[in-house]
Structure 1
Amino acid sequence: MAVVDKLGRRSSSKGTALDLIRSSGPISRVELAEMTGLTQATISTVVRGLITDGLISETGRAESTGGKPRMHLQINPGSRLSIGVHVGADHITYVVTDLAGTVIGRLRAPGPADTSPIEAVATIATDVDRLISGLDIDRSRIVGLGLVTPGPIDKRSGSIQNAPTLAHWTDFPLARAVGTATGLPCVFDNDATAAAIGEYWMGATSDHLTYGSVYMGMGIGVGIVIDGSIYHGELSNVGELGHVSVDARGRVCPCGNIGCVELYAAPPAVVAAARRASAEGRLDLAFTGVVARDFEAVATLAMAGDATALELVTESAEYLASAIVSMVNLIDLHLIVLAGSAFSVAGSLYATTISRMLAERVLARSISGVDVRISVNGDDAAALGAATMVLQENLSPRSLRAVTLATAP
């Protein structure tokens, strides 16, 4: 039997029950029936199947309120595992998570740089095997592998399409190649969307059904959740926030647009500005030539109060905030989550600046403010989102919303 919510979205009763037990457990069968709108008989059948599959277990009875005490149910976190792989320009991050979204293993390797996609796939397969072996995991418990990359992507072919940091991978069937090399079912998406899914799974957005997860690594993207569902767009390329124009007469971006926010706010832009400041004698910094490390050094100086570094980071945050203001005005968002490695050091500076500008510029600011938060998942946001994306697709409803309200005919 399927379940539909108020927007008419269908999901399996098994997936819905499992998601509720995961997010709200321990929970009783009666509570599940009340929250889903399914009959007691249907819930009993669903629960019996989940117990048989080893996904949940009975944990004891609740305190009696006069009748027979209700038996509580909770998930078995270790019954299913998933692997998340985030291919970024500066590093590749691997995580293994259990059904509760808890990270039980993690590995970070250097980014692919100029490596060919064929060589990178071989490296990914080797790293995945090394991670599984090191954790002594039974592969039969692994549901699949979530693979996420910067966009644009073509989900139909499982390929990257002219992503600025991985342009030489365009049209390579990455998802299929990784699935074949690892022997695991592969789910493919962009990193910003994955980060948004990870925020939900960890309960960081439970007070908002509509929000944006702004992801900044070497580039900038955003995962958008609308009324409890990830919004992918027609071709799964929604959220290219980094290519919103913030200067109509600005520089030409490699993407072909003019004045894209990435040209002014992303780590490569900040590092380039820092090099100019250093040449002018305004910034004392030894550059390594690795953008991620140099950006982290600038951010560290900014947090320590260096005037020039603080100016550079604040300018980056202001440009980013300008793009976010436009997004908030278009979609009516009231929660922004900042995720990605670029926020790991100076995230509080970005959050403060973005909050201030949203409070000053959002059109509906007199009605309700916009909450700006730092991701609960840190540098692992995209990789963790990739892993939970596998669990969400294989075991839970399509909608991120846990509670559904009506029984399908």
Structure 2
Amino acid sequence: MNVSNRKTVSAAAILLQALLLASCLLPVRPFDEQRWWAQVESADPALLYAPHREDGRYFNPWMPMEKGFRDFLRWQLSERTLYAPEEEKELLDVLLDLSDRIRSTPGDFIAWIGHSSFLIRIDGAYWITDPIFSERALLPKRKTPPGLSLDVFAALPGKKNVLISHSHYDHLDSESIRRLPADTRIYVPLGLKALMNGLGKQDVVEMDWWQTVSCGDRCQVVCLPAQHWSRRITQNTNTTLWASFLLVSSDRKIYYGGDSGYFIGYREIGRRYPGIDYALLPVNAYHPRWFMYYAHMDAREALDAFRDLEARYFIPTQWGTFRLGDEPVGQAPSALSKAAQFSDTDPARIIVMGIGQLLPLGSRDPK
């Protein structure tokens, strides 16, 4: 990290500590789940295809975001959602020797590196989603180490491919991108190519929602909508796009949801791209609901998205590494288990991976 970045992080850390010292000044704001559900249901699906950039800024035309920095400050100055001590202490074990298991596993697989970073091998090609190997995502510090080192990933044979969903620091880590092999091909939403070039990566494919590009023989990448937003210290709010992706090969389809709130787009994606095998969907940073509801999904909404996509299996992402909301980093499995019972979801279709776990995809039924 260079000197200017260290100063920026230090200033941000001081501000955050001041906010934390002043916390608990405001009560928890109530949230009307039924009203939110009605708002989602009333959105016009045609707007998923509408223009989504105006005056240099991107937006979600089916439901523009209303939350802003003032709401963030209120969250920081509010009472925190309370959890049991055992929930607060629950952390994931990291499985060792992933590199050895990669070498000994034939065929396709999905391996979890941590947070939203997954290593995927399809038809001999390697893909990684939103790689972050750094100790911090700007401010939040890792609770668990990565299940694979960046050096091991770089040493894997063949060309590497990366999917970047948006510009937030827990999904776009500059140091990790900079250290990738120079010939890594990187797929990004609109507006992020210049940043990738500045980090030393020239093989960059910039994509808009609903755009499909070839990634080789019998391989396609589809850029799809998500309900989120973007900002970095060096970039203004929403000057770059956010997205989810569908990776299509001759044998299977893998959907990577990036970061998103629940929205009508999941139904349209499931309708347009039937037969999704694995849906990698985020379950993190959902408390407090009054602040997080628009851009993040809780366990129930993640299962609703899984149902809308009509995918065969659901793999939860974006948990277990960084504490970004009020909820503990290890809460996702228990929250999903409860939500699955409530929604009558077959638990066999939910694959909760461990950090460093490798899931072979040779069989149509990974169980």
State TM-score, norm by structure 1.
Answer: 0.27
Higher relative contact order (CA 8 A, sep 6+): 1
Greater helix share, structure number: 1
State TM-score, norm by structure 2.
Answer: 0.29
